[in-house]
Amino acid sequence: MALLTIRDALNQALREEIIRDENVFVMGEEVAEYDGAYKVTRGLWKEFGDKRVVDTPITELGFAAVGVGAAMAGLRPVIEFMTWNFSVLAADQIINHAAKMLYMSGGQFKVPIVFRGPNGSAYQVSSQHSQAFEAFYANFPGLKVVMPSTAADAKGLLKSSIRDNNPIIFLEQERMYGLKGEVPEDDDFTIQLGVADVKREGTDCTIVARSMTVPLALQAAEQIQKEFDVSVEVIDPRTIKPLDIDTIVNSVKKTNRLVIAEESHYFASVGAEITYQVMDGAFDYLDAPIKRLSCAEAPMPYAKNLEELALPNVAKIVQAVKDVCYL
């Protein structure tokens, strides 16, 4: 095991997959000579050159389209969006082309492409650069949506995503690039898509968290254990689509209570979907209405204090757990 930041774990995954498969290449704004806006692609251009690491103009729709075409032609592109906020410019390529091609070509064209980049809030980057897109992309059939929360998950899931034959929406988190974690030192370390991970076992309440809310949920769980002797289970689905609902439903059957913490807005969110599916699969086991914490229903404020108020935090999660446990 090696102690790596999520940034370096992603870098390792890219490097190993570029070496492993000659069809893999990385493309995006400033990914080559500048080492990437967030340095996820650091050193790759120097090591592998122009053919495998490609700088593009500021044309999201254009380079996303080049990626989709390359994937149809047999390559395995990894397209970096400087942030997922810019992916809306490329949404036509992602939703109308990448996601539909296998179906509309009657299975003739696979599109093995990974779109990746930071998703959700950062530090005071305001309304246009703080949005979480998982619910948006997960809504369309044909796309897989992946959201790691640890260095090991980041590496294992990115490698699986690159090897997957479907278009993948790979959502990182800018605030988390520097988080360190143990990562297996195995070139072939992968994590299967569609499998949730129980980050902390517990018996009294389940928290489903993803990406940035996972470390918050773990802190909240520790605090609740100390203060109220309530044992909280924390589940990270890791893959939003396909969603490992069984792990969540089984946990709720055990704990009878569920809190969902997410960085996205609440309306038609992934939390809303999980709420429905848990109701469907564990209705008779619920002891309290499911509680959900989402981003405030407002464009993200620039002001630091307001930004903090808009997002889920440890105190809010603790309160939600208390609510569903009737404490």
Partner 1 sequence: MEEGQIARWVKNEGDKFDANETLAEVDTDKATMEMTALSGGTLLKILKSGGETAALGEAIAIIGKEGEDISALLAETASNGGTAAKSEPPATAGGSAPERNGIDRNEQPAPATTVEKPEELQLEKTSAETPAPRIAPQTNGAQRSEVSYQQSTGRMIVSPIAARMAADNGIDLRSLTGSGPNGRIIKRDIETALSSLVSSPKSQVGRAFVPSTVVGASQFREENTSQMRRVIASRLAESIGPIPTFYLTVEIEMDNALALRKQINATLTDNEKISVNDIIVKVAAMSLIKHPFVNASYQDKSIRFYEQADIGVAVAIDEGLITPIVRGANLKGFAEIAAEIKDLAAKAKTKKLQPDEYTGATFSISNLGMMGIKEFTAIINPPESGILAIGGANSVPVVRDGAVVIRNIMNVTMSCDHRVIDGATGAKFLQTFKQMLENPVLMLM
Instruction: State the catalytic residues.
Output: 60, 129
Smallest distance, Å, CB 245 to partner 1?
18
CB atoms within 10 A of CB 65: 17
Q: Which residues pair with 5 in a beta bridge?
A: 180
Residue showing tokens 């002891």: 287
238 CB contacts (<8 Å, ≥6 apart)? 146, 147, 148, 149, 153, 157, 191, 195, 196, 197, 210, 244
Nearest CB to partner 1, comparing residues 123 and 283:
283
Smallest distance, Å, CB 282 to partner 1?
9
CA–CA gap between residue 284 and residue 312 (Å, rounded): 28
Nearest CB to partner 1, comparing residues 33 and 280:
280
Q: At 297, list the tokens.
A: 């229903």
Considering only the stretches 130-138, 193-201, 223-231, 279-287, report the one whose residues sit in contact with partner 1 under the rule CB under 8 A. Answer: 279-287
CA–CA gap between residue 305 and residue 299 (Å, rounded): 14
Write the burial class of residue 89 (CB in 10 Å: 0-12 exposed, 13-18 middle, 19+ buried): middle
Residue showing tokens 């592109």: 77
The DSSP secondary-structure symbol of 149 reads: -
Q: Three-state DSSP class for 298?
A: coil
Binding mask 80-119 for partner 1 (x = CB under 8 A): ----------------------------------------
Angle at 224 between CA 222 and CA 229, to 5 degrees: 105
- Binds partner 1 (CB under 8 A): choice among 125, 198, 286, 306: 286
* Residue 189 near partner 1 by CB under 8 A: no
- Binds partner 1 (CB under 8 A): choice among 250, 287, 301, 322: 287
| Residues 14, 78 contacting (CB under 8 angstroms) | yes
* Residue 284 near partner 1 by CB under 8 A: yes
Binding mask 307-326 for partner 1 (x = CB under 8 A): -------------------x
Nearest CB to partner 1, comparing residues 11 and 256:
256
Nearest CB to partner 1, comparing residues 35 and 204:
204
- Binds partner 1 (CB under 8 A): choice among 88, 91, 95, 288: 288
Residue among 320, 137, 127 at smallest CA distance from 216: 320
Whole-angstrom CA distances from 163 to 6, 20, 81, 157 are 20, 10, 19, 10
Nearest CB to partner 1, comparing residues 91 and 286:
286
* Residue 283 near partner 1 by CB under 8 A: yes
Nearest CB to partner 1, comparing residues 267 and 326:
326
Smallest distance, Å, CB 26 to partner 1?
49
> Which amino acid is present at 185?
E
Question: How many residues in the shown chain lie near partner 1 by CB under 8 A?
Answer: 8
* Residue 267 near partner 1 by CB under 8 A: no
Smallest distance, Å, CB 283 to partner 1?
5
Angle at 116 between CA 120 and CA 103, to 5 degrees: 115
Considering only the stretches 174-182, 260-268, 283-291, 295-303, report the one whose residues sit in contact with partner 1 under the rule CB under 8 A. Answer: 283-291
Number of residues that this document lists for the chain: 327
* Residue 228 near partner 1 by CB under 8 A: no
- Binds partner 1 (CB under 8 A): choice among 11, 149, 160, 256: 256
Residue numbers at the binding site for partner 1 (CB under 8 A): 256, 283-288, 326
